[in-house]
Structure 1
């Protein structure tokens, strides 16, 4: 009795499994485009099927016969859900409706854009696409994420192109309609993270009323801002140099300026700023109009030097040479604004020989040491 009962239960369970398996395998969506779907009717040899825009099948779009296997159903609208039901030929009862979906497409001219960024992320947005239940974002053929809205923030560390594929998920099955055709994709080109930190600014030239600073180009920068003030932080100003990596601090006098630079990128009217560079301190050179050299006419040759005060300077270093372009040697350091030079390279000054002088101001601001630009020189000689 027990063996017979167990055998009966086993047979009943097997029949139930086969029956459920046929129903589950009866049909499934296997493909989609913007105007068609593909349905596999599985084990059935002959199937009568219908497709409609509503579950009640109040108005059938198509009512056809399938002769087994896969059925291509055309002439549908993009980004929509339809319902398919079927029955084995010769029977009267249709299956429950199965949802099928077509691929959403973007409109001609649809374009996305980047709206902001950080050092490691970029935020993008795009127009909503009719019928899309979500969007898949790809970078270099790699899926980065799937979102339901029309904006996303992605991780990145370099410039990339982002492809956005609209998808439509069937609400009642696991099928997702997607298509890789270019007409179904929005591409946002040159999506970037925030540019890096700019290098320290340094003097590249000086003029009678300006000091010209420069810095290294920052990759992916759309422009630069320069902040400059007096060495003590007073009279601070910020200037936008656009894409240029130089700037003239006009109205410059004999004083040290505190300077720093940062890169930025712009998305529409939004400017996103990178980190400031470390501070640097710059100063015009002590020019020939600021430096006076007097050669003695006595038997003992010597020079007297006088120069304008440079605000922020802690000391001055005097350089001397016998040629205009090379061979300069430091001959004296002083905190005063004048000096007497009677020797060059440990030798007495020669009469009727041209010597060349330049004076460099040296400042110390916290732990940072700075020098004035060194360019102009003054020549002089001593007579007997």
Structure 2
């Protein structure tokens, strides 16, 4: 699907609309302008080979973007600006591996996602820098649409050859050590970005294209679900544990996945529930601040473009740092799930990349909630 990014410099604002049409009822202009439209409708497997079947059509349309569109005699030039999608879609678009120890687009090791000091000091590469990293060896020339992962299932001699081309010499190591060294060097990059796979476009054609390392809808949903599931196991009083277990069973229950709207509602309910316990002295101030920070983060991520100010951008930085710190103080080592799941890619994206991306875009514009609703309607065609 495709949509237009709302920009108050190009489009009328809600206040201007009210002044121009005082007799009409108020509407959300950002939501109307950013309404997604069906672009390509098809069905395929989730493998890279099958998803590449749509790439040629996308590239053909993108090559026509330099041609202006005239409205009332004024030329307008469209620009491909950002991708909005969940983690697998972003990984496919950028050429990043799916899962593994470098699942995030920033190239940071997955086992360091809970390390705030490391995360804040890590310098993520741009799309052009990742592309150059991919072409830094010799095996990238094997890439084709039928073989989209030239670094997959390599022999020991091939790994040594690739490392040599990158000025890394490890002749005495076994295959496992060599493979780990190559993965560390690539930081999860497996192939070129999807739009550069046919050599019809060049990296300079994507100079204004951003593939964000976050997507608030799924990030918030998973963080809320994991927190509600894990909290009951971290209170010494049995009575408090039972109250939290009851809250967890009445909200999350046995659901493997919850809707984005439900997760935001559960975050508010959790904050109100914890507030009551805090006032009665049953939980600490850290638990109360943890839950209220999550509600504040959710509010800032869904904030309207008209409310996005430097103050609110800084506030999201502060609240995500506060939430990260308190989460480690209150939970520490999780008991009901693995540490990698609890402090996984969704936690990392929400606390590190959401504030960074909020400096570039209004995060509300990148939330694919309307697209998700459309997918439900499209299932009737299967």
| Same topology, TM > 0.5 | no
Larger radius of gyration: 1
Per chain length, whose mean CA-contact separation is higher, i.e. which structure has more relative contact order (CA < 8 Å, sep 6+)? 2
Structure 2 length normalisation: TM-score? 0.20
Indicate the structure with greater strand content.
Answer: 1
Structure 1 length normalisation: TM-score? 0.20
